[in-house]
Amino acid sequence: MLFALKMNDATYDTLRITRTWPPAENQHMKRHLVFGFALIVTMVFGGIAAEDAQAQAGGRPRPGGNQQGQKQGQKQNEEDEVKLPEDPKLLELHKNFVLAAEKLAGDYERTNQTDKARSCYTEILRLVPSYTPAADKLAKIKVKEATAEKKLVDVYANKGWQDTGITVEKGRPLTIRANGEWVMKMTYTLPADGIEIPKELRDFPLGALVGAISESADLSEAKPFMVGNEKSMEPSTPGKLYLRMYDSNPDDNTGRLGVIVEGTFKK
């Protein structure tokens, strides 16, 4: 469902929301941030061409695509859409919520409460993905978080999981860069048939730098991930960052890597 809404000193991009929201009663301005999130789900701001609306809804045909499936998808989207309220006061309330949420995020930024500002922008975009001003502000916050702190650690080839001394935060940008070389040694006494690659060595390239994040020293439940020369990520879980060479028995390996870890770390 689409509509255009003019706002003082602000231009809103086209947005498309097709979720259903329950009506609310007894609205109070002091509860904007709680009430507003529920109401804004179905609202869209700005104007859009019919072709762009079709593309956002997934209705634009793709080369070799299933036309029947696309028509069914369009029909489903139409069924999912709800009629927007015609009450101009209610529409004004939605407009005021967006402006109030942006102002609150700006206040948080000015007082260095970046986490709260980030949450405001993230929530706005979760409900209104095409709202450019919030997207731009969130991007700037992420850039700042990605370079907030930096630490250099040595990762040795002949050791297992090594605690970097860094505790990462969930959803905060993290970049890991490795420099140098190390030596992986494998010595087996084999019959003529050779040996199968052990199951524990089939997930990543042998000798690669791998990492894991865990809130405890027991890494049995941690899910290792490939690092290699460089990896940028937003961890899905908080915890300490561990690094090692990918090898079932690292004791006879030699060398070390210098690893730079950059991002926002938990104090």
pLDDT at position 214 is: 95
The HSE-up count of residue 112 (CA atoms within 13 Å, CB side) is 0
How does DSSP assign 172-198, residue by residue? --EEEEEES-EE--------TT--PPP
**Between the CA of residue 175 and those of 14, 31, 197, 237, 261, what are the distances in Å?**
33, 38, 31, 15, 6
pLDDT at position 241 is: 97
Query: Distance of alpha carbon 155 from its chain centroid, rounded?
Result: 27
The HSE-up count of residue 264 (CA atoms within 13 Å, CB side) is 16
**Residues 148, 223: contact at Cβ < 8 Å?**
no
pLDDT at position 249 is: 86
Closest CA to 213 of 156, 161, 142, 144: 161
Q: What tens-digit pLDDT sequence spans the chain (267 residues)?
A: 333 334 444 444 434 333 334 444 444 444 444 444 444 444 434 443 444 444 444 444 443 444 555 555 555 554 444 354 578 887 777 677 778 888 999 999 999 888 899 889 988 887 677 789 999 999 999 888 888 899 999 999 999 999 999 999 998 999 999 999 999 988 778 888 887 776 767 889 999 999 999 999 899 889 999 999 999 999 999 999 999 999 988 999 999 999 999 998 987
Name residue, tokens 């524990």. Answer: 200
What's the rounded Cα separation, in Å, for the pair 233 and 153?
18
Which residues are CB-neighbours of 37 under 8 A, at least 6 positions away? 123, 127
Closest CA to 19 of 70, 71, 84, 73: 84
Three-state secondary structure readout of 45-104 = CCCCCHHHHHHHCCCCCCCCCCHHHHHHHHHHHHHHCCCCCCCHHHHHHHHHHHHHHHHH
What's the rounded Cα separation, in Å, for the pair 35 and 38?
6
Structural element, H or E, at residue 114: helix 114-127
pLDDT at position 202 is: 81
pLDDT at position 235 is: 94
pLDDT at position 107 is: 93
pLDDT at position 263 is: 93
pLDDT at position 197 is: 76
pLDDT at position 73 is: 53
Which residues are CB-neighbours of 110 under 8 A, at least 6 positions away? none
Token digits of residue 68: 């029947």
